[in-house]
Structure 1
Amino acid sequence: MTGHPVQVWWARLEDARTGLRALLDPVERVRYESTVDPAGRGRFLVGCALSRLVLGELLGLPPADVPLRRVCPRCGGPHGKVHLAPPPDGPAGTPAAYGHCVTFSVTHSGTLVGVAVCRGGEVGLDVEESHGDMDVDSAARVALSDAELAALYARPTAERQPAFLRTWTRKEAVLKALGVGLGVPLRELEVSGPEQPPAVLAWPARLATRPQMSMADVVVDGMHPAAVAVAGFGAGEEEAEAGGVRVEAGGVRVTVHDGSEALAACGC
C-alpha cells in the first residue's frame, strides 16, 4: 500500500444537538455560549464534538478528556488553531504520547463540517460548499496568482466556479497543514490546475519552511469540493481503519467516514 493515511469524517450542521455540549471543555463552552450566530455556534459545536469523538477513539481516551488547545500566535488568546496538547509528563507508550505524532484539522462551510486525522505529518483539510450566488470574480482576484487568473478566465463562464473552488480548497488545505492560515497571501501560493493532480507549483516568498507537501482532492455529497494536504511525512506508515470510501492521490490515502453517524451513536 502506498500513500500516507488520512481519515476524514464529514458531519452536518443539523447534527448539532444540545447533548453534545457535554463533550466540550470549559473554554469551548464559553466560546460556544458567546457565539451569537446560530449557524456558527452549531458548526463550532459539531466540529469540537466530532474532533473529540474521533481523537478519543484513536488515543483511547474519553472524548471529554482529549486535551485540545487553542492559542492565538498573535495575542495568546484561546482562539488559535486547535491542536492536541498531551500532558508533558505523559510516559512513552501511553495515550498521551500519541499527541506527538497525531495531527488533525477541522473545516466547515455552510452546512458541512469535516475533521481530518493523520499520523506522521501535519494535516490540513478544507471544504467549500458550492452555491450559485458566489462572487467568483471578487474571490479570484484575492486568491489566485496572475497565471491562475488567466487560466480561470480562459474557461467558459459556467466552468469558473467549480474550477475556482477546486483551486481554493487546495490552497487552504496547504496553508492549514503549514499552520499559517490566511496569514500568507493566497495569490503567492500557486497550485496545479483543477484537472491536474494536486501539487504546489510556487511557494510564497515569506515562508521560511517549505516542506514536502502531498495532497488529495475529495468531493462531498457528489458536489462540494474539498482537499487534504499533508506536510512533512513521518518515517513509518500506518494503515487507515477499514471501511469508508478510499481516495488515493498525490501521496495521500484518504479514507472517508460518516461523522453524522458517529455523533448520533455517541449517546450525548
Structure 2
Amino acid sequence: MAGHPVQVWWARLEDARAGLRGLLDPVERVRYEATVDPAGKGRFLVGCALSRLVLGELLGLAPADVPLRRVCPRCGGPHGKVRLAPPPDGPGDAPPASDSSITFSVTHSGALVGVAVCRGGEVGLDVEESHGDMDVDSAARVALSDAELAALYARPAAERQPAFLRTWTRKEAVLKALGVGLGVPPRELEVSGPEQPPSVLAWPARFATRPPVTSMADMVVDGVHPAAVAVAVTGAGHGAGAGRGEAAAVRLTSHDGSQVLAGYDR
C-alpha cells in the first residue's frame, strides 16, 4: 500500500497570544474561557489557531470561517475529535472533492503543539514531551500489552522511558486516526518494537475481523521528543489482511507552525 502524504506543523506554548483569540468560534471561546490551567488554556488556543490558519490556507477560507465541529460519540458534547464540518446548506455549497477529503489531527504535550493534515485517510498525530520525572511503571501497566510489557522490562532501566514513549506515541496516533482515542483500552492494541518500523501487530477485538489499512511514521521534535503519525483507511479497497504488520511509510512533510502563527498579526 502506498503511503499517504501528511503535512505536520509544530508550534509551542509560547506562541499563544491574545490576538489569536479572534480566530476562535463561539464553542471554542467558551471552552477557552472555562479552562483554568494557564498552560492548558494556551495549548488549546495555539491548537485551534494553528488548525484554522493551516486549514484556511488549504481550503481558501478565512481562518475564522473554517467550519470545525467537535461532537463526542458517547455523550454528544462538544469535545470529541475535531473535524471539518459538512456544509450546512446542502451539496451545492460543498467544497471541491479534493478539499472535502481533508482530515486533520491536533496534539499537545508540555510546551509542544502539533497539527497534522492528510487527504484521503483519517489522520492521527501524537507527541509526548520527554522528561525525567515520568512514572514509566504506572503508565506502562495501563498502556502496554503483556508482550510489550515483557519487552520493556527486558531493557536496562535507563532505556525504558524512551522505549515506552516511542511505543505510546504510535498507539495514540493509531487510536486518534480511528477516532476512538482512549475509548479503546490501549493494552488491546499492540505495535512493533521501538527499533522496528512502525506497524500494528494486533488489533483490539472490535477491529480484529476487518482491520483498517494503516500507514505510520515516527518523528522526533526538537531532537528529543518522540511523535508519531498514523493514517487509517476503513472504506473500499481495504483488504482482509491489511494492517497486520504491513503498514507503508507515510510521506511526511514538517513545517514551522510558530512561523504561521507569528504571521497572523491581528
Q: Which deviates more, 141-150 or 207-216?
A: 207-216
**Quick check: 1:188–1:205 contact (8 Å CA) kept in 2?**
yes
Q: Secondary structure at the match of 1:148?
A: helix
Alignment correspondent of 2:248: 250
What displacement does 1:77 show?
1.2
What displacement does 1:91 show?
4.9
What displacement does 1:79 show?
1.0
- TM-score, normalised via structure 1 length: 0.90
| CA 25–227 in structure 1, closer or farther in 2 if over 3 Å, else same | same
In 2, Cα distance between equivalents of 1:95 and 1:183: 31
Alignment correspondent of 2:106: 106
Deviations 1:197-250 (A, max 9, x none): 000000011337521011000000000000000011899xxxxxxxxxxxxx93
**Quick check: 1:59–1:98 contact (8 Å CA) kept in 2?**
no
Q: Which runs of 4+ in 1 moved over 2 A?
A: 88-100, 206-209
**Quick check: 2:87–2:93 contact (8 Å CA) kept in 1?**
no
Alignment correspondent of 1:215: 216
Alignment correspondent of 2:265: 267
**Quick check: 1:24–1:49 contact (8 Å CA) kept in 2?**
yes
Alignment correspondent of 1:241: none
In 1, Cα distance between equivalents of 2:232 and 2:187: 20
Letter in 2 for 1:253: R
**Quick check: 2:104–2:123 contact (8 Å CA) kept in 1?**
yes
Seq. identity, %: 85
**Quick check: 1:86–1:99 contact (8 Å CA) kept in 2?**
no
**Quick check: 1:91–1:97 contact (8 Å CA) kept in 2?**
no
Q: Secondary structure at the match of 2:138?
A: helix
- TM-score, normalised via structure 2 length: 0.91
Deviations 1:106-153 (A, max 9, x none): 000000000000000000000000000000000000001111011101
Q: Which deviates more, 94-103 or 179-188?
A: 94-103
| CA 120–234 in structure 1, closer or farther in 2 if over 3 Å, else same | farther
What displacement does 1:89 show?
3.7
What displacement does 1:4 show?
1.4
Alignment correspondent of 1:225: 226
Gaps of 5+ in 2: 237-246
Q: Secondary structure at the match of 1:69?
A: strand
Deviations 1:59-93 (A, max 9, x none): 00000000000011111111111000131446579
Q: Secondary structure at the match of 1:207?
A: helix
Alignment correspondent of 2:243: none
Alignment correspondent of 2:155: 155
Deviations 1:155-197 (A, max 9, x none): 1111100000000000000000000000111111000000000
Q: Secondary structure at the match of 2:105?
A: strand
Alignment correspondent of 1:77: 77
Q: Secondary structure at the match of 1:206?
A: helix
In 2, Cα distance between equivalents of 1:145 and 1:3: 27
| CA 30–258 in structure 1, closer or farther in 2 if over 3 Å, else same | same
